[in-house]
Amino acid sequence: MMPEQGVPMIELSGLTKRYGTGQTVLDSVSLTISKGEFVSFIGPSGCGKSTALKLISGLAVPTAGTISVDGMTPKNAREIISFIFQDATLLPWRTVQQNVGLGLELEGMVDKRRREKTSQLLELVGLKHMANAYPRELSGGMKMRVSIARALATSPRLLLMDEPFAALDEMSRDRLNEELLRLRDEQKWTAVFVTHSVAEAVFLSTRIVVLAPNPGRIHVVLPIELPLPRTAALRDTPEFEARVMQVSHALRAALLQ
């Protein structure tokens, strides 16, 4: 069931990032993420979670160490990667449908096929009725759905998410977590997810990487062996509670280290 030791999607080895000021954000991080995994990075501020995503996507360059994404350099792997940012990063002058089609448009897909594809995706995230609305007419949760639809439009095999639901209320966040898992079960992409929320990380992940700060490094990697597919009911089980406790303890230990 769990793709524990499968084909590697991401291989990080001795990954180090230092800024010009001499501050070390990430210190020799080594980790292999297999295809089909859903891995969350969790940790206090300053542990380099977001930096790790930037490095994997090639938006930042490591000071030392190597990154391989599906056997490619991060920049060459961009065709198979989609990035979901903390804010929805929609273009306010475009309608919902035009926003969803942005990636396809930049890749040069023709209008007609793009409209079909974006309509499908809007249906998938339950926003078909908002296709011609502008972002300012949407709630925070809806905007995030558009952002997810846009990321999935290019059929990525790796989804990088940087605290995508941090600004949402808990109800919307829970619903979007459930939808995200449903989409993953259908589309089988690999995911790296950065979050502050332990419950969110446990619910979504097959593995959780707990990072320690100053300098950012891996404290412990915890497999989350809860059954798949997961539904909202999982949150009420004692197994889920136990996992949340375990991760919270690890997080506290990482802080004290």
Partner 1 sequence: MRQRLSTLADALGVFAALLVLWQLILWIFHIPQYMLPSPWAVARAVGLRFPSLLAALAITAVESGAGLIASIVAGVIVALFFAQSRWVRRMLYPYTILLQTVPIVAIAPLILMWVGAGAPAVALIAFIISLAPIIANTTQGLVSVEENLVHLFLMHNATPGQLLFKLRLPHAIPSLFVGIRIASGISVIGAITGELYAGSSSVGGGGLGYSILYASSQLQTDYLFALVLAATVLGFSFFFLVMFLEWYFLHRWHESALKMEVE
**Residues making contact with partner 1 (CB under 8 A):** 57, 59, 78-79, 81-83, 85-87, 89, 91-94, 102-103, 105-107, 134-136, 154
How far is Cα 176 from Cα 164, in angstroms, rounded to an integer? 10
Task: Give the nearest distance from C-beta 125 to partner 1 in angstroms.
Answer: 18
How far is Cα 51 from Cα 53, in angstroms, rounded to an integer? 5
Task: Give the nearest distance from C-beta 87 to partner 1 in angstroms.
Answer: 7
Cα→Cα distances 125→54, 55, 133, 159, 175, Å:
26, 29, 15, 16, 11
Task: Give the nearest distance from C-beta 181 to partner 1 in angstroms.
Answer: 23
Q: Which one-letter DSSP state was computed for residue 194?
A: E
Two structure tokens written together for 156? 């990525």
How far is Cα 190 from Cα 7, in angstroms, rounded to an integer? 11
Pick 74 or 216: Cβ nearer partner 1? 74
Pick 147 or 206: Cβ nearer partner 1? 147
Task: Give the nearest distance from C-beta 153 to partner 1 in angstroms.
Answer: 10
Pick 105 or 174: Cβ nearer partner 1? 105
Two structure tokens written together for 24? 């070390």
Which SS3 state, helix, strand or coil, does residue 40 take?
strand
CB 38 within 8 A of CB 6: no
Task: Give the nearest distance from C-beta 205 to partner 1 in angstroms.
Answer: 23
- The helix (H) or strand (E) run that includes residue 152 is helix 140-153
Task: Give the nearest distance from C-beta 231 to partner 1 in angstroms.
Answer: 31
Task: Give the nearest distance from C-beta 92 to partner 1 in angstroms.
Answer: 5
Pick 89 or 246: Cβ nearer partner 1? 89
Pick 134 or 226: Cβ nearer partner 1? 134
Pick 40 or 98: Cβ nearer partner 1? 98
Sequence-distant (6+) residues with CB within 8 A of 131 are 95, 96, 97, 118, 119, 122
Pick 158 or 202: Cβ nearer partner 1? 158
Cβ atoms within 10 Å of 105's Cβ, excluding its own? 16
- Helix/strand/coil percentages in the chain, nearest 5: 40, 25, 35
